Amino acid sequence: MDAQRTIRVLVVDDSAFMRKAISHILNDAEDLEVVATARDGLDAIKKVTDYQPDVITMDIEMPRLEGLQTLGYIMSECPTPVVMLSAYTETGGVTTMKALEYGAVDFVCKPSGPISLDLQKVAVELVNKVRMAAQVDVRRLSFVEVEKLAKAPARATSRRLAIERQVVVIASSTGGPRALYEIIPKLPGDLPAAILIVQHMSQGFTKSLAERMDSASELKVKEAEDGDVILAGQVYFAPGNYHMEVVREGDQEVIRLNQEPTRHSVRPAADITLETAADIYGQNCLAVVLTGMGHDGAAGAKKVKDAGGRVLVQDEATSVVFGMPKSAIELGAADMILPLPAFAEQITRQIRENKIKQHSN
């Protein structure tokens, strides 16, 4: 998109106050213009057709036609980048994850409920996500079918020497949940490695994402907790608003969470997890850098490579946003640049080949 072009936005919310507050924030940005507002889903569908906006901001809970149904219609009939606005509750978290599966580009968490008088707290985030959404190719936002699996009983995990343990660290941001659904559920339940995922996401929502991913995966998936022992066959999501470090305590590796300052303006930052994993696991660390805005993950991936580990990076053609993969490639960190459908098989191959190599040494 031409940097000089004004991004035209449709604001959808059932609250007149919220429509006004969102419009004020967006119109204050010189490159954004709210061309229309809509009070519910039915009104939104009409105005998408009438105004053909570049981006839509949409509330999730609305009368007559709620956000998910409206999003589903828009993405099938008149595909347009959508940024959802969600108040975090347990139900709201699940619905927001469904919205990402339906094709929403991203979401912004309302800071204090459905009607947030303090919306200005997330003004910068909202503006940046609308700008980013305007650059997205909506053809990469097709519906993601999440199938629930009948999970096998958890197997007892043997304690192995630290040198035999392996870890996969995945960095992702915008478009990340969609990409992760293409990878994690396709990995075998007996994968001889742990997986640490740093997905840039607001506090509370990472738990909903982990739970939905767990229901679709052979591997055990959870939101990481401070002190979790890192075990093969398990997936750990960094909680929103917490950095996730890997430390060695005795003869085991453990997750430590902290709220140290942001890095690259994000917390959790993938660089922190990658750097600490590289220190502990060395050549037994596999880094994966997926779609996302910004530079997070590049420096950490380079450290993994320098420590003897391997780095897989998503290609531009399948990335919703190519910022993070591009940064890793430009830094010289990438060993392989792959389309999204190739990742599950390649991760499995790399882990199993490395295990064979360990036992042959």
Both tokens of 188, joined, read 């075998």
What's the rounded Cα separation, in Å, for the pair 301 and 169?
9
State the chain's maximal CA–CA distance in angstroms.
67
296 catalytically annotated: yes
Catalytic pick among 40, 59, 271, 296: 296
Identify the CA nearest to 82 among candidates 110, 111, 103.
Answer: 103
CA dist list (Å): 183 to 98, 159, 347: 17, 26, 9
Pairing of strands 310-314, 336-338: parallel
Q: How far apart are CA 190 and CA 355, in angstroms?
A: 13
Hey, what's the torsion of the CAs at 282, 219, 106, 199, to 10 degrees? Answer: -20
Alpha-helical (H) ranges within the chain are: 16-27, 41-51, 67-77, 90-102, 123-133, 176-181, 205-215, 270-281, 298-306, 323-330, 343-360
Cβ–Cβ contacts within 10 Å for residue 228, how many? 18
Query: Which burial class, exposed, middle or buried, applies to 302 when counting CB atoms under 10 A from its CB (0-12, 13-18, 19+)?
Result: buried
**Which residue out of 200, 228, 243, 271 is catalytically annotated?**
200
Active-site hit among 173, 208, 319, 327: 173
Helix axes 67-77, 41-51, angle to 10 degrees: 30
**Which residue matches tokens 């192995």?**
160
Q: Which residues are catalytic?
A: 173, 200, 296
